[in-house]
Amino acid sequence: MDVYDLGEGEPEVAVVGAIHGDEPCGARAVRRLLDSDPDVERPVRLIVANEAALDAGVRYLDADLNRAFPGDPDADAHEERLAAELLDEIGDCTTLSIHSTQSSAEPFAVIDSMDEVARAVAPHLPVDVVIQTDAFTEGRLIEHPHTLEVEAGLQGSDGAADNAYWLTRAFLAATGALPAPGADGAVDAGGRDAVEVFRLRDRIPKPEAETYEVFARNFERVEVGEAFAAAGDEQLRADEPFYPVLLSSYGYRDQFGYVADRVGTIE
């Protein structure tokens, strides 16, 4: 784990990249920010978490770090020890955890539950959507208080790395650590009039098949009877209306993604 501190005093804000070693966008954003040598107004801690998995180009070495929190400093598994170390490093910081996905090129935010930090920060991030995952957060870093995740874009892409940088800059501006960035990046850093909030309700299981395909688009309503995916020659149709979230053909081993409800907006 690489840890970098900016400013004087105990860090109050933290940014974490490379929870997963096959998602390099967060590490690239951290290094780009360090190269810019910013003059922070609050002390900030920048962390490249699973450096060993990142160097190996794999998601994890022994266990999924984002299912291992709060961790165990005496565990045999590398990621379980790392989870405990990482929580010690972020302490009471307001924290941004950067990820990427196989389901969406557009960035979005993920929270455990709607708290004052999410309400205050999310409208200032360059995202149009927040996903509330309180029923599906066991072992994830967002269970830690005052922590938000962002999915920066498609895994391994230059676009995700660029998005991750501007998400980081916007987060640090929203938390008072840096002045607001300009809008000269691939993702603008302005506030939003309203950010849509979706709450995960259930998983969408993936039947065994040789090939998979998805037809529906994330965050767009699927109507009753509509085919939203296929497992081999079998089409899956909706039994009731829902909003698909994190829907992808091969992003998960045993599920297509999630059923979600649109529950409101943050303004």
Whether residue 193 has pLDDT greater than 70: no
Confidence of residue 185 (pLDDT cuts 50, 70, 90): very low
DSSP label at residue 180: P
Neighbour count for residue 49 (Cβ, 10 Å): 31
**What mean pLDDT do residues 2-6 have?**
97
Question: Distance from CA of residue 97 to its chain's centroid?
Answer: 6
- The pTM for the full model equals 0.90
What is the CB neighbour count within 10 angstroms for residue 221?
13
Confidence of residue 189 (pLDDT cuts 50, 70, 90): very low
Cα–Cα dist 92/47, whole Å: 15
Asked if residue 101 lies in contact with residue 151, where contact means CB atoms within 8 angstroms, the answer is: yes
pLDDT at 267: 74
Lowest-confidence segment of 48-52, 59-63, 118-122 by average pLDDT = 118-122
What whole-number distance in Å separates Cα of residue 234 and Cα of residue 209? 9
Residue 229, beta-bridge partner list = 214, 236
Q: How many CA atoms lie within 13 A of 155 on its CB side?
A: 18
The pair of structure tokens assigned to 231 is: 């497992």
pLDDT value, residue 191: 53
Contact 107, 126 (CB under 8 A): yes
Task: Note the helical H segments in the chain.
Answer: 25-36, 51-56, 78-90, 116-121, 158-174
Q: Say if residue 24 is preceded by a cis peptide, omega within 30 of 0.
A: no
What 8-state DSSP symbol labels residue 121?
A: H
Measuring CA to CA, which residue among 4, 1, 44, 46 is closest to residue 21?
A: 1
